[in-house]
Amino acid sequence: IFFVLSGFLITHRYAESVVPSWPWAKAYLQNRFARIYPLYLLLTISTLAVQFSGLSGYNSDELRALPLVGKLLGIGLNVTLLKGLFARFILASGVAAAWSLSVELLFYLSVPIVLLLVRKYTWQLMFYPVVALGLGALLVAVCTRLPFYAYGLFGSMRFMLNYTFFGRCAEFACGMALAYYCRRRPLGQATGSWRTVGGGLWLLLCTVAITQAEWSYPRGATGLHTYTAIVVNNLVLPPGIALLLLGLLREQTWLKSLLETNVAEVLGKSSYAFYLLHNGLLRKLSGQFMPNSVVLFMVVLVLSLLVFYLIEEPLHRYLYVPVRALPHRVAAGNKEGA
């Protein structure tokens, strides 16, 4: 859902305002940087410090097994949001969930160009994931001959499809297509709830299909094992997510009412902090003192709220580029915000 929603939001905000100019690009990149990087950097530095000290045992053995070059490379890749391109570092260092930010980073860098190219003929958006997948396959073939291959740079076709932007681009494209669809058809209150229900059933069926395909493989955080499951996850599932989002936008359902509550809004604001915190160093350390998963969940939830209001949001406001500070031409196109 994360990648489809990201494709939708970025397209909704920037499709009309994007211009081929450095002032616009600078403002866009700074605002994207302000949204995801400050909190990530703080958590990454904290996590790496504990991991390299070996105090928690959290992946410490894997890190100590690396040569000095590998340790330095791991630190650099974590800090630059590029560790998701290297199979060796996906789980061995830093924030566990950070691989998806490598995917997000490449999407942020490529999407302005795509928005400009498809502005006149949006049907050309279908070529975006096709080109990305072709580049990904080419990179897998080339990187096996590079010195850094020992660290798993585009380590395999399965790795590329599971963990990189090139394999997951279709999810962003579905979200972008949904944004263009909504722009051309003004949002009005639709009757019935078939979009929401249909999208939910679509997700359920895809989950069953993926589970069935992966049933005989061990559970773990190593990605999907079968190409059947990968195809369902990367290509079949995203349209269902887009349909569900369309239902939430246009249909008045109990799910929409629930997501419109103040509690859901607050939880949504802190979701990024929760995402970075929930499955990593905090879980490892807290699990030693709070084996009850429900209690641990509540602790992480409260901590996520505190991190959002005390750290993430203040840093974002400080780094965010206000519209009035942009050149006139850029500001005029950016009234929707960033």
Residue 141: count of CB within 10 angstroms of its CB: 11
At 331 the pLDDT is 42
Q: What is the CA radius of gyration of the chain?
A: 21
At 290 the pLDDT is 57
pLDDT tens, residue by residue, 21-36 = 999 999 999 999 999 9
At 118 the pLDDT is 96
| Average pLDDT per block of 10 residues along the chain, 338 residues long | 95 92 92 92 87 63 76 89 87 81 96 95 96 96 79 90 96 97 78 90 96 83 87 97 94 90 91 83 59 76 92 89 50 42
At 180 the pLDDT is 95
At 106 the pLDDT is 97
At 4 the pLDDT is 97
CB 150 within 8 A of CB 85: no
Of 297, 145, 182, 164, the closest CA to residue 230 belongs to 164
CB 280 within 8 A of CB 56: no
pLDDT tens, residue by residue, 43-84 = 899 888 877 776 555 555 667 777 888 888 888 999 999 999
81 DSSP assignment: T
At 220 the pLDDT is 61
Cα gap 214→80, rounded to integer Å: 33
Cα gap 297→123, rounded to integer Å: 43
Proportion of the chain above pLDDT 70, given as a percent: 84
At 335 the pLDDT is 40
At 205 the pLDDT is 97
User: Residue 291: which residues within 8 A CB-CB, separation 6 or more?
Assistant: none
Question: How far apart are the two ends of the chain, measured CA to CA in Å?
Answer: 20
At 59 the pLDDT is 58
pLDDT tens, residue by residue, 103-116 = 999 999 999 999 99
Residue 194: count of CB within 10 angstroms of its CB: 12
At 137 the pLDDT is 96
